[in-house]
Structure 1
């Protein structure tokens, strides 16, 4: 979103605190994740011939999306050399791309804890919502930056086996206490700068789920917002709450159906939003035609960047993805692991970035597909050691 016997005594209190305070992602949490996998090894080496075929266009686009992160990986022990070699590959030459991949990378089929090949492939996007830089009669929902009193503790600085896990809270005297949950922040506010004001509380919730977005101002200009921090409370899917309340059937849950329910039941929207205690804080970024930056701090490429569980698929990796679009048509292509999310947990699990705006949002909102994944990993490099 572990504890070794030799350090159990002094770490026992820490692990209890993690259960109360931990927020484990560097990007905004997104919905519908399977449970954290067990201890089975997720990597099974296979031949290149085991991969489903891709078109030259998809091969080129996926390769270029992956290579776009190479300036960030030039000092990475695993990817520095493959990136250096990839820089000599002609952009538009599928034959050279295939030659590079098959010469420099091995293929590992990813398997879930029970040796299942199929996993869950969802989608996300960059939404655009109407709003204002100042509070107005219609724009009354604040989008907060990082609070002044939010304390974040990077746990792997002391315990390397807790890589990627953080404590988040507030100091009361000398005691670190849990930070306010979403319901409390919505009712009492936060000690944080307001970056923008939205017109609909559902827009804020969906902005937090996506982890980034744009605010369209009255003059037509746009403000770009990106994930900065989170309050440390666990993400709970509002769609699941609607199912538990008997308001929606599980198979009918989508962004569109959730928003339609909210419009039909405005008095219950605060109750719906309180069901998810997680709260995301943002930072304002310069607007640009590029995609939003993911956890790897490179612009995401629509259709070819994915959020992954970084304990299984390290950021910067190249993944061969085989799934379907919401309409059932095949989607097979290499994709670049450039983002993470609190709800993206599991060995065979990815969240495909679809782009900006309503059309991308429609695809993302209906994307809950079965899929298979293969990790393309540099030859001779030690495989990742996934957390249990």
Structure 2
């Protein structure tokens, strides 16, 4: 039966184009599943459940066929081993894993003396003019005032800055309800890391910098801290996300909820969104696990670059902020798609 299903899938697979690499130095190496350290011990059923969250949105015939089989499979490990091949994609840069999370801020639907920092929708002119005003100009002038662009107000401008860095979050209201906001656009200016700026200034050494360290420094140095936040000219606007229940994860780049410790953000120039990705993260807490590429990020660039989703809230934020570890990514691709990436000389 398994052989019959496999033959049917392979017969129906169309090579709907290969991935477009970001540069000509990209190399592809097909591995065996036995080359994946820890593969046999992983919870493949958990990974399959996350794969099913987004595979129905994939357009190519081979992915659609695999998604149909995934919905009927009884053995998740067999499914991945039968229909995929592990492909290590390299662009000459070392592997790097970081973490991200969904912030949860205290807020209000109306401004008060405590809640006085607005979360804004995107004004029409910001979408029409690229780039639009930078962060300093947006926050230091009255360009946003009295226009009804506020979604909610929060009590901490530093947490609001990091909400913009993450791109989505939840607002915890006083009556116990939650309001979820998602990325609604940006002003078109490039993102600049304030952590790197603190290192450049000699304030901290590279190994000392984390999100919590930056937050503490900004709060302890209010005038210099505000100026540091202005170092990043990029400004993110939001939209209310009402279609996702509060208990589920935020929407990723595929417009579906992402899953704690099973979803990653990748560079789609190398890794197709929706693809399973085996990660081998080193560091203080090694992690070898099958993840699903369901998100992207402005700082996530390169074939061996990934951001691990750690969940929602302060605890998740602390864990995510501690991650900056080496390792490797191995993308699981449909069989014919994987072999199509190899040069003819090795076929």
TM-score interval for Structure 1 and Structure 2 normalised by the shorter chain: 0.7 to 0.9
Question: 1:187 Cα shift?
Answer: 1.2
Deviations 1:65-101 (A, max 9, x none): 112212222x3334111111111113xxxxx222211
Q: Does residue 196 of structure 1 match 2:175?
A: no
Flag structure 2 segments of 5+ consecutive residues without an equivalent: 1-20, 343-347
Q: Secondary structure at the match of 1:259?
A: helix
Q: Does residue 89 of structure 1 match 2:73?
A: yes
What CA distance in whole angstroms lies between the structure 1 residues aligned with 2:151 and 2:37?
45
* CA spacing shift, 1:77–1:278, aligned 2, 3 Å: farther
Q: Does residue 180 of structure 1 match 2:133?
A: yes
Question: 1:56 Cα shift?
Answer: 4.6
Number of the residue aligned with 1:245: 201
Number of the residue aligned with 2:6: none
CA contact (8 A) 2:98 2:307 kept: yes
- Which protein has the bigger helix share? 2
Matches within 5 A, 1:7-156: 38-54=23-39, 56=41, 58-73=43-58, 75-90=59-74, 96-113=75-92, 118-151=94-127
Deviations 1:238-282 (A, max 9, x none): 111111222222111101100110121012222011100111111
Number of the residue aligned with 1:15: none
Q: Secondary structure at the match of 2:140?
A: helix
CA contact (8 A) 2:191 2:233 kept: yes
Question: 1:37 Cα shift?
Answer: 6.8
Deviations 1:93-116 (A, max 9, x none): xxx222211111111112232xx5
Question: 1:201 Cα shift?
Answer: 1.2
What CA distance in whole angstroms lies between the structure 1 residues aligned with 2:313 and 2:166?
12
TM-score by length of 1: 0.77
Number of the residue aligned with 2:7: none
What CA distance in whole angstroms lies between the structure 2 residues aligned with 1:56 and 1:285?
36
Question: 1:150 Cα shift?
Answer: 2.4
Question: 1:134 Cα shift?
Answer: 1.3
Q: Secondary structure at the match of 1:150?
A: helix
TM-score by length of 2: 0.86
Q: Secondary structure at the match of 2:114?
A: coil
* CA spacing shift, 1:185–1:335, aligned 2, 3 Å: same
Q: CA RMSD in A?
A: 2.0
Q: Secondary structure at the match of 2:309?
A: strand
Moved over 6 A (4+): none
Matches within 5 A, 1:304-319: 304-319=262-277
CA contact (8 A) 1:110 1:372 kept: no
Matches within 5 A, 1:138-287: 138-151=114-127, 169-170=128-129, 178-188=131-141, 189-190=143-144, 193-286=149-242, 287=245
Number of the residue aligned with 1:9: none
Flag structure 1 segments of 5+ consecutive residues without an equivalent: 1-35, 91-95, 152-168, 171-176
